[in-house]
Structure 1
Amino acid sequence: MIHFRNLTFQNIKQKLQVKKPWDEVIIFVLNILISIPAFIIAHQNLIELNWAFNLDRFLLFIFILIGIQLVLRLLRTIIIICIVFYILILLYGTLSGNYGFQSVYEDYDSMVYTMSDNPFPQDIIISKLLPFPNKSQIVNAIEYQNPKVRNFAVMAVNKNFKNIKGFTDYRNIIQCFGVFKEINSRWNYVSDPKDGDYIATASESLNYLSGDCDDHSILMAACVRAIGGTPRLIHTKGHIYPEILIGSMNDLETVNFLIKNKLFVKESYGKQLHYHIDERNQVWLNLDYTAKYPGGPFMSEEILGALTLN
């Protein structure tokens, strides 16, 4: 009986084995697919030693590459099971709204983008691999269909920049900038409790126009989306801030003119716009609570996550 079980196990094991040289090819591809995201996550969470030529990061990548290669070689006989397990994890992430196939595609697309020749360091998105903090709570808190939020946004539109003429194609952007002005000119920063994050809904934050960075981002995103704009939230080390989709670089030129000459003349005088360009070459303008005008300076350049609200 024991001999029969061993024989059955050996038969199954042989059927699951991949013949040479395809086992080496599969191990190499899996190693790359796993090592690069693992390296980026390690890079974001480990202290940099500031060695010359970023030697510490080079050694970290080599260590991860070799480690995963050794593990995959040990699992050579069940490599098909490893592939199936990898696919099941991504499938679960896709179905549950977490890290899935689309996220993998976007992350590798972002990595290719960051390795390309780009003359503007502020445009580079480091990675989107880390989980966006409190994602489900934040999405639920962005109550862009709440009448209270919609009414506030409409009030801001009618109060600010209502009489700007001659820019029909940018009317929605101008209206969103009116929302930005209303919120940022009245926002009062109030910290969360010491024992954890407090995620205020957009309608709740309207009561006193007060809260921390995630509360501000939620309110700004909700109001912008309530009047037809496309916002996204950016996660950096210890901070979250909102951005708005501007469009192409040509659109940015027009928006730059509007901000400098029509809308925020004093606030933006002698200053530049701060923005990001994503892997689809779309321009996103900073709307942080620390900014006095759309496109004001970033508090932090390094992006750890992006939550786009289509």
Structure 2
Amino acid sequence: MITLGKLTYQQLKEKFRIKSPWDLIIIFVLNILITIPVFIIAHQNLITLDWAHHIDRILLFILILIVFQLILRAMRRITLISVILYFIFLIKGTLFGDYGFQTVFEDYRSMIYTMNDDPYPQDIIISKLLPFPNKSKILSAVEYQNPRVRDFAIMAINKHFKHIKGYNDDWTLIQSFAIFKEINSRWNYVSDPKGHDYIAKATESLKYLSGDCDDHSVLMAACIKSIGGTTRLIHTKGHIYPELYIGTKKDLERINYAIKKILFPVESKGKKIHYHIDERGKIWLNLDYTAKYPGGPFMHEEILGALTLD
């Protein structure tokens, strides 16, 4: 029989067994947390039957709830052990200032809010599940709610393009370009320690505006997110860089003119605007630290992974 110290496997299993009805309550709560995002995806992708009082959607929610309840109960032992281990992880994170209960609550609430407004909510789930180097560290480092990050963003906005007229619908983009100009005109590339991948928090990079590509990407994303912009980080071979969400091709035409004729006429003279179009037709503009203007040349164009920061 398998033993761990003086305890047998059977004793460990009994030690961590959750008695009824708490096991069923935990499974039901977990089911609700899973069912809500799955229901949003189904609601957005399935045809609405327009039944009175939204009965079709109520039945859809109940059906999803029942299916997951049956699955989780069938896997009760694995489910409960996983929940216990996750709670231990969150308790540790809460006590030592890492990823804790408050953070997971805010991330879940943000995800549900974003999914509810997105016509393709499944993309948000996929983007969170896709492999991305140092994903958890990067998400933790993007301190967009830190007052120092927002103060820096506001300073840049008041310093650049403050008096531009006629772009009311694109004002968040214009302000994002102001942040880009401030960061990229002052950024000093500094490598990580040899053999180590060091991820600096946004507030840390603010002090000297120095670091490598992932530090630059974290700071750019944090500042733009702090003023309501949407960015994503692109992972290529040995490199990470930020992109800014622009919108449709029609939006790009308008922004292209603004960059080349009004905002960055000298830096972009005679040069192309570089961007990517994702699988939904959304346009993302290159903001790499090597670019002298938004949409400057790619350092590495191949996309190995993307991390959207809604």
TM-score after normalising by structure 1: 0.60
Letter in 2 for 1:202: A
Equivalent position of 2:69 in the other structure = none
Q: Distance in 1 between matches of 2:140 and 2:242?
A: 16
Please give the secondary structure, in 1, of the residue aligned with 2:173: helix
Q: Distance in 2 between matches of 1:204 and 1:153?
A: 15
Equivalent position of 1:151 in the other structure = 151
Find out whether 1:173 has 2:157 as its counterpart: no
1:128, distance to aligned residue in structure 2 (A): 10
- For the structure 1 residues 147 and 282, does the alpha-carbon distance in structure 2 shift closer, same or farther, using more than 3 Å as the test? same
Contact 1:172 1:228 in 2 (8 A): yes
Q: Distance in 2 between matches of 1:278 and 1:241?
A: 16
Q: Distance in 2 between matches of 1:141 and 1:167?
A: 32
Q: Distance in 2 between matches of 1:189 and 1:152?
A: 19
Q: Distance in 2 between matches of 1:131 and 1:226?
A: 25
Letter in 2 for 1:212: D
1:167, distance to aligned residue in structure 2 (A): 1.1
Equivalent position of 1:223 in the other structure = 223
Equivalent position of 2:259 in the other structure = 259
Please give the secondary structure, in 2, of the residue aligned with 1:207: helix
Q: Distance in 1 between matches of 2:255 and 2:283?
A: 11
Contact 1:233 1:242 in 2 (8 A): yes
Q: Distance in 1 between matches of 2:128 and 2:269?
A: 33
* Residues 18-57 of structure 1: CA deviation (Å, up to 9, x unaligned): xxxxxxxxxxxxxxxxxxxxxxxxxxxxxxxxxxxxxxxx
Equivalent position of 2:100 in the other structure = none
Contact 1:273 1:297 in 2 (8 A): yes
Equivalent position of 1:160 in the other structure = 160
Please give the secondary structure, in 1, of the residue aligned with 2:200: coil
Q: Distance in 2 between matches of 1:128 and 1:182?
A: 30
Equivalent position of 1:196 in the other structure = 196
Equivalent position of 2:214 in the other structure = 214
Structure 1, gaps ≥5 residues long: 1-83, 110-126
Please give the secondary structure, in 2, of the residue aligned with 1:268: coil
Contact 1:150 1:226 in 2 (8 A): yes
Contact 1:129 1:305 in 2 (8 A): no
* Residues 100-138 of structure 1: CA deviation (Å, up to 9, x unaligned): xx9xx759x9xxxxxxxxxxxxxxxxx999610000000
* Residues 150-179 of structure 1: CA deviation (Å, up to 9, x unaligned): 000000000000010011111110000000
What pairs up with 1:84-163 in 2 under 5 angstroms? 131-163=131-163
Find out whether 1:296 has 2:300 as its counterpart: no
Letter in 1 for 2:270: G
Equivalent position of 1:236 in the other structure = 236
Please give the secondary structure, in 1, of the residue aligned with 2:303: coil
1:279, distance to aligned residue in structure 2 (A): 1.1
- For the structure 1 residues 274 and 129, does the alpha-carbon distance in structure 2 shift closer, same or farther, using more than 3 Å as the test? farther
Contact 1:264 1:293 in 2 (8 A): yes
Number of aligned positions between the proteins: 200
* Residues 258-306 of structure 1: CA deviation (Å, up to 9, x unaligned): 0011000000000010001111111000000000000001111110000
Q: Distance in 1 between matches of 2:220 and 2:138?
A: 12
